[in-house]
A and B are shown apart, each in its own frame.
Chain A
């Protein structure tokens, strides 16, 4: 109804987060290329870390965009971000070693078109719309590419559509047991779509604090890494997947605990099994 979106002021400026997010996710995703270079699978987890960094940036972008009031929920911004992102990420993936850079360019194009349409044709007339949708599409694309690379150890398209099946001791090449052929890309899509909008959707309100929201974004990222790490047991070696799983669980436990501490800091009171505290002077 009349719930106004209010955001806290201050904190790290958005442009700084943008640069850290863009460069950070690009570098981290390129670290998974060490897999191809050294012919191993142990570096797959860097893809997940790239997604975490991208989600931190995306959360701050969503906060800026949604503080204008879109007329529809915060989750829809996550949906359009990942919808544009998945197209860009899979197109980018076909370009081999250039995948992350091409992905960013394609995502920027799709995001720019969506933003221009929203402003110039649908007439939302929101000043940050075009820039925000470009950023969100890039974040969505990097999240998809990062998590997909984490699941199968590479960000190259052929790696995503081929897998192996061991049957009665024979190892066969198959297209069905792969990240795309098995539909795992749909899981990654939804993991990103919820993780990108949840931190701001959960923390919005007059007491919103940037550090708490961003900590939650990191928590959502690590939480999304856990199931992807488990799924990756089906695609990459057990030890490589185990490393990814351990890293995600440690990261998640740390950020979750930090988030609870920050919530305790910001909460009005932290009570266990206490009755309703009626406001003293009849209403706040």
Chain B
């Protein structure tokens, strides 16, 4: 993505405002109430599922090590691309696996989605290190911490002059895989919840069988899952102002803010996605 200097990169964590918190609680409660009013208990379960899915996505984005434009020059550690879109790539690959496994049940589909996202990030992160090491001769070094929390490697002496570190240290690799897995899990969860709702409602509404309506239900659930994924991923990207090294980065501590924001945004978008079919044929 374009490298655009953020406003307050180094500022400490500013807690959410009181109005923000109150508003968040009101909106979530309102969404749950509306869901109960529209689709009864199934609706509440679906909204809760969507909120959890959105929270997992936003939390997952914080794990993905993304260095943005400086990473492409070996000036800062992480993967050289935009955080929202890299997370989307992993999450959607997970969605691919999860949707494929959907007929085998909830648990298998969710696990399939998580593994799919994790697999994409595992391969991508490994290839990033292959390029750094065998293509550019640069060892991995973090700029934010002196010691890898997992392996105990020290970094300052491997950091080349005039940079903030480079490559993907092992902790960032693990963060990438965890982030991809959480993204895949969250995306698949949203997809499955919506699919359940549509598969229950559409045949009744249009007086057809589940098989006939499957393409519409799958497409609607898929498009909404992608849309909510992107909303949550972008909100999380705003929270970390573009770049992060992984779970060891001080910016990681900002995650509670993104979780609240994602929960509310998912609840509001989710209630419209669930209530979608209630108005068909009314007008």
A and B touch in the complex (CB under 8 A): yes
B150 within 8 A of A: no
CB <8 Å contact, B215 and A118? no
Residues of chain B lying within 8 A (CB to CB) of residue A119: 20
CB <8 Å contact, B279 and A94? yes
Sorted nearest first, the 9 A-B pairs with minimum C-beta distance are A71-B6, A120-B20, A73-B1, A71-B241, A96-B283, A117-B261, A181-B215, A83-B230, A72-B242
Interchain Cβ contacts under 8 Å between A and B, 7 examples: A73-B242, A87-B228, A113-B27, A121-B21, A124-B238, A189-B223, A189-B227
Q: Mark A57-101, 1 if CB is under 8 A from B, else 0.
A: 000000000101111111111011011101110110011111000
Chain A interface residue number, banded: 35 or more
Residues of chain A lying within 8 A (CB to CB) of residue B239: 122
Q: Mark B33-60, 1 if CB is under 8 A from A, else 0.
A: 0000000000000000000000000000
Report the Cα distance A151→B10, complex, angstroms: 47
Q: Is the interface of B mostly helix, strand, loop or mixed?
A: helix
Known: A72-B82, A87-B272, A114-B265. 9 other contacts (CB 8 A): A71-B241, A80-B234, A90-B220, A91-B272, A94-B278, A110-B272, A114-B231, A123-B257, A182-B215
CB <8 Å contact, A76 and B82? yes
B109 within 8 A of A: no
CB <8 Å contact, A71 and B234? no
Report the Cα distance A250→B105, complex, angstroms: 51
Given contacts A76-B1, A106-B272, A110-B268, contact A87 B227 (CB under 8 A): yes
Q: Mark B198-215, 1 if CB is under 8 A from A, else 0.
A: 000000000010001101
Residues of chain A lying within 8 A (CB to CB) of residue B20: 116-117, 119-121
Residues of chain A lying within 8 A (CB to CB) of residue B229: 83
Given contacts A94-B280, A110-B272, contact A186 B226 (CB under 8 A): yes
Q: Is the interface of A mostly helix, strand, loop or mixed?
A: helix
A5 within 8 A of B: yes
CB <8 Å contact, A186 and B7? no
Contact of B237 (CB < 8 Å), options: A76, A83, A182: A76
B4 within 8 A of A: yes
B70 within 8 A of A: yes
Chain A CB within 10 A, most for which of B241, B258, B278: B241
* Residue of B with least CB distance to A102: B279
CB <8 Å contact, A1 and B265? no
Residues of chain B lying within 8 A (CB to CB) of residue A204: 2
Report the Cα distance A4→B281, complex, angstroms: 51
